[in-house]
Amino acid sequence: MTTARRTQKQRREEAEAALLTAAAELVDEQGVRALTLAGVGERAGYSRGLVTHYFGSKQALVERLARSAQSGFVPGLDGLPPGLDRLLRLIDGYIGGLGRMGVLNRVFLKLWTESATATELTQLFRERNEAFHADLYEDIAAGIADGTIRPAVAPDETAIAIVAQLRGIGMQRLIDPERVDTERLRTQVTGLWRTALEQPTV
């Protein structure tokens, strides 16, 4: 019985992964407005009924896709204490990750852009931005508390500026990948934020 349950679980995971991949490819090619459950099923080689069974609706599918696309974008941060070092590693890793942008990463940026006009995406991406902002705010506040970041730095406004810059670089990379050299840019941008934030040593 245990083996049968495991096999069924594996089949479900494989089907869900195939459906998410198909949805990502379709959004990447045609945009979220053209996405349909039937189209996702057809691309993945399954029925529309199976897509509905696993995700329930297009809205739920898109939300799952957005969360999957952003998950683990900057590896190596788990376990690091909040503060300036983690913040700078995040900035550096985020821009570096843009240089290895795959379908899911492109889809996240495209969905994020569409959230400005597609009301079904607005709340989801407001939540994603708030979570990103909260992580950055925590690092900045911790850096101020431990003396590595200048006390005059405003955590809220600085976090907003960093989110805007990183997402903006992502959009430029999406539109004109040859123009945006992420390996050079990551060093430059990380250095600029270090200079702007770091408390000078006496």
Q: Is 125 helix (H, G, I), strand (E, B) or coil?
A: helix
Cα separation, 191 vs 195, in Å, equals: 6
Together in a domain, 121 and 37: no
Measured at the CA of 197, the angle between CA 81 and CA 189, to 5 degrees, comes to 95
Residue in the structure block whose two tokens are 């995700």: 55
Q: Which residue range forms the structural domain that includes residue 56?
A: 2-61
Residue 121 shares a structural domain with residue 189: yes
Last residue of a domain, one of 22, 37, 61: 61
> Is 202 within a domain?
no
Do 110 and 130 lie in one domain? The reply is yes
Residues 77 and 57 grouped into a single domain? no
pLDDT in tens, 27-70: 999 988 889 999 999 999 998 889 999 998 988 998 888 878 76
Query: Once rounded to an integer, what is the mean pLDDT over residues 87-98?
Result: 94
Closest CA to 172 of 71, 98, 94, 90: 98
Q: How far apart are CA 110 and CA 100, in angstroms?
A: 16
One domain, residues 121 and 85 = yes
Q: Measure the CA–CA gap between 2 and 149, rounded to whole angstroms.
A: 53
Q: Which of 89, 60, 42, 43 has the alpha carbon at shortest distance from 186? A: 89
My answer on whether 115 and 170 are in the same domain is yes
1 pLDDT higher than 70: no
Residue 137 inside a domain? The answer is: yes
Summarised one tens digit per residue, pLDDT across range 119-172 is: 778 888 888 889 899 999 999 999 999 999 999 999 999 999 999 999 999 999
Number of domains in the chain: 2
SS3 content of the chain, % helix, strand, coil (to 5): 75, 0, 25
Cα Rg for the chain, rounded, in angstroms?
Answer: 20
pTM for the structure as a whole: 0.82
Pair of tokens at residue 162: 């960093």
Same domain, residue pair 23 and 100: no
